[in-house]
A and B are shown apart, each in its own frame.
Chain A
Amino acid sequence: MNKPEAGGLFAKGQRIPLRGVRIEVHAAGIAARVTVAQRYQNNEKAPVEAVYSFPLEESSAVCGFEAEIGGKKITGRIEEREAAFERYDRAMAEGQGAFLLDQDRPNIFTASVGNLLPGQEAVIRISYVTELQQSGDAIRLLIPTTISPRYVPPEQLKKMDPAELDHIAPPTVLGGVPYGLELAVDLEAPADVREVSCPSHPARVAISGRKVKVSLMGQDIQLDQDFVLNVALARPHEALAVVARDGSAGRAVMINLFPDLSGFQRGPGEFLFIIDRSGSMGGPSIQQARAALLLALRSLEEGDRFNIVGFGSTFEPMFKEGVPYTQQSLEEAARKVEGMEADLGGTELLQPLKFATEAPHAAELPRQVVLLTDGQVGNEEQCIELVSAHARHCRIFTFGVGHGVSEHLLRSLARATGGQAEFIHPNERIEPIVMRQFRRMASANLRNVRLDWGGLKTDLLAPSELPPLFDGDRLTLYARVPGGATTEVAVLADSPKGALRFPVTVDCEHPVDDAAIPVLMARKAIQELEEGRGMVRGSAQQNRKEKAVRARILELALRYQLMSSATSFVAIEERPAGAQAQPAELRRIPIALTKGWGGVPAEGLAAGLTGSAMGGPQVAKMMVCASPAMPAPAVRGRRRREAADEFMMEAAFTPPPASAAPAEGTTWPRRILNSILGGGKGAVPAGEDLHESLFPGNALLELTSLQRADGSFELTEALAKAAKRKLADLEQAAKALGMDNTLARNVLATLLALEVLEKEFSGRRDEWQMIADKAKRWLAKQKVVVPAGAKDLHEWARRTLA
């Protein structure tokens, strides 16, 4: 915990009673137990009520709430949401110590710490269990620390409950908050650990066999971005079933399968890319989204159709309707994508989603939607409802881009449509992530996917419908069984190559005592219900159905003592007569603006603000978070000024430091030239070769970005440079193929690219395998005669290019 700073801790002239947050993660196998401890201290002369809204992982099963005050520990109890609030409110009126935890969104929670007496300190501990995200041999831990400002559409803003709005859009400050974060991870992986990376924070990492210990370096770490930890295992997971006791005789079963679906070739598809160009995407987010989109475009195949939609307050499809994927359409799209900026205002996500789900499309092609966004919207429910209604013909794959993405929105959109979500932290390489997503999109067209319980009877299934199977991704299912014997459970499917079966043994005779399993099972069932799926049947009348769903959520949450949309945690410290507090003053805890949000340089701003007149560390002006229009700072300066947020204004117009200018002799990226020349799209002709790289410093991306739509490569100076060869030598070598000169050059260039991939990037095969497969398919179509003396073309190329 951070030591209190002398003098400071003010917001809007009021003290901030939150002194620090400590997060501890204990992970074993595929589940993690996390404790979030918040320390509050009242340094004022009157009692205060601290209200702090904060994020947790969206699938967290929040199962513990404890307050420690005056040496006493008070355990919170789950109650129906309104009943819990009434108890809290009554205790507040009576001057008792009162503590309440509300779920405002599946990933946004609010803690109210009531009647903290002058000088008093309280520590709130929130515990939750969560599944570790996993794909192939990689485990990913993502812990959000701040709530990004979000765009709430005006019509939604009018209808929203004011208290709810205050919770999902808490006061946000520029330049950091005066309470800090400590974080420690203790992880025991199911296999030896090969590599650990923490792209979000400087961290101390210790690896010993399967064990990993991680802690943040430095003190007073700002709570302004997600904590991300990637753990690579020496071997992928294996199928595993865990059976835990649930109640006196019941069993909660967790099944984990890792289906091997490699080796399938996808058929043509229709791809719709939706890229968020709202103001909040300014800075690193839009840069990464652009790079990911360019890479994704290169991963399409001839026969596919595609379109690109940029959106903000409005949305603009690039083409009237989906166009065939050709060299010409690829070049046109890439050129336009390079010019995309975060300049379209608010985040009206619903409209492009309507376009994506409702626009007519080629009926014979399955529609795949790829959404790149930070997801900062307040109408998540509407968006999820819309896509759920079209889930049968439209799968959504999402990329969360930025330091503080709305994990809930991105995962739930994907979950509702049978897609998958990926997250790209600004310090991460995009290639493995984009390719992983494209491998999913290319996954086999499986039919009749079903679960064979091998005779086991189940009285609860979570999720109630089988999620999609993706190659290498973990498939996790939960069930409650009344008892039973040892049996084999299997997922079955029909594929183009025949019947598939993925089995696992479930031992119900020897259950373990692991409280996490029943809790995760219940949370999964609640999540389904909260997102409008699940098993509630009966009345078709909307009102009655909603009541039935809420009743089922309440039943599960009370039974398993879990936070949900229908329940809250409440804890009361009964104070003796005479020790009750006078009416408390509200202290709303401000949160830090997400790092890099909208391109605002937070660090520079903080440095500029700290020596200001008041002496102590001042908190910058409050920002309106739920604003109908959330413009990019750089382009809508006037609106900012009207909002009296001049700190932001100054930041937006501060010229870049001298070090930002390229060194003499290097080339400016085209879009920077365009902005300097002031001509926007036309200032530098798009076709003019500036020998610039779209991915400077990234040799693999530089090489793969040269691939043409048909899979071939052209013999150009850029390719020769990427392969570290002389163009003249390569041109000479191409003549040995004894065929039409242009074709020979392309064949040689393609062979060269494959050779470079194999030699230089063998450790990153996952990132280029799809590119290489596409190149090989093109080569096979050319029917090239293997030069005399060579076994095959590749062997000839290796020898010739050695």
Chain B
Amino acid sequence: MKKRIMAILLSVMMVGALFTGCKSSTANTDSGSAAASGSANAAQKAIDDRIANAKKTGKYQTVVMAFLNWTGSPKDLPKVNAAISQYTEKKLGLDVKLQILDAATYKQQMTLMLSSGQQLDIFNGVMIGYAPSVNNGYCLDLEKDKLFQTYGADITNAVGKKFVDNCRVNGALYGLPENKDNANGQDGFSIGKKYLDGIGFNYASMYKNKGDEIIYTDINTINNIFSQLHSKYPDKYVFAPQIATLVQANDFDSLGGDNFGVLLNKAQDFKVADLFASDTYINFCMRNYNWNKAGYISKDALTNDIAPTAQVKAGTAMAYATACKPGIKAQESGLCGQDMILFQTGIDFSPSNAASAMPWCINSNTKDAVAAMQFLNLAYSDPVVSNYLCWGIEGTHYVKTSDGHFDFATGVNGQNSGYYNNVNWEMPNQFIAGIWTGNDLDIWTRMKKFNDSAVTSKAAGFVFDNSAVTTEYTALTNVYNQYEKQLEFGFVNPATGIPEMDAKLKTNGLDKYMTEKQNQLNKWSKTYANK
């Protein structure tokens, strides 16, 4: 009898769970069909409806927007939320709640939030990955019922149709690119000014034009600087390595963000090749191996997860590799808490995922896709909102200087500011926000020039979907994890380490993975390339 009662109880609970599952899914389709009645005035009508509803209930509906920074939720976030909401209540008839998460936990938190049914309307796809987000069904098809065309018209104007189209997956639009640097100034190095002064290195004469922020040079100069730094400051590490440098320092296109099958040599053809069998990879590892042997790199680098900028800030390291772009000097100096000198030894290169690396997506489970799209539209087109997102509240976090820059408000600095995220590359449109002191006022003109003049991968806009080869991907990732840091931080002789890894990757399905990439690329190139 007891057993039977237990069984009935259990089945009731399970059926209950079934129904709750159904309920939430029907709610979604409703909001979708509401958007279908879109017309030229649909946008204004949606706003009016929300304002009328807010007057009735005394409460505005909220749009929740999530993105990452480096330090977790800033302490003045409630103030900034209130300030944006005050503005958007009038403009759009809605409140905005920013959810800012620490980069270290962003991916896990987002996966939880996206699968749990917690309110989250807009999220940035950085770290979660665009293709995985689409495959897992996290992203709303933005053109469903003409949502994007009806409510997001200003977005295309802000970033350009070309970049919007580069976010398409098999023709469908699931994410929107932000206005940012879409290229990497490759193989750049950021070195502390005080250390260069310490060895008496004359960098000032190396700038091509007066007022430049990057010194264009070759790797021999860097080697020379490193060896001088090492003998002058033997108790500090010269170079703090990080994993991202492989991509930032070499002109291959990793096609979808993994390194298993790439387009080599500036990606000017559609031939998928094995990176680990290429000279590019061997030379890169050899360089780090030599630096490691020379004692430039910490013996604990393999297990050290502290960001290179933080290591420089703490005074344990003097230099690190970075990708260059206009504004990089101010950005890196800010992160390191000291003046940094930037060197670049490679070309400016724009890989295939430049636009779709960190797209803004609307959660497929959002209650009100129209409101989400309308707020995104405002964030891309309204300088007031963009300033709130990028810099916080005027007077509290920043002030306008007499020459038209933004600067910290009195008594505020990067350490104690209640809202200083340093992630403007992630914001929808930093080009319309204020320009921080230390940057040239024409930085965005130069950024556009930088984006346009960079060598662009021929596969620009290709998004690789690895859902058919997940078994291989898991195995390959585990093999690569074993060797990645040892080889790329120079702890193992590349002459023996690379062939060993490549052989192991091959037995774990590298060829199959590359074939899948090649097939998708061929198919894609027939339809979308050169358009």
Bind each other: no
Interface positions of B (Cβ within 8 A of A): none
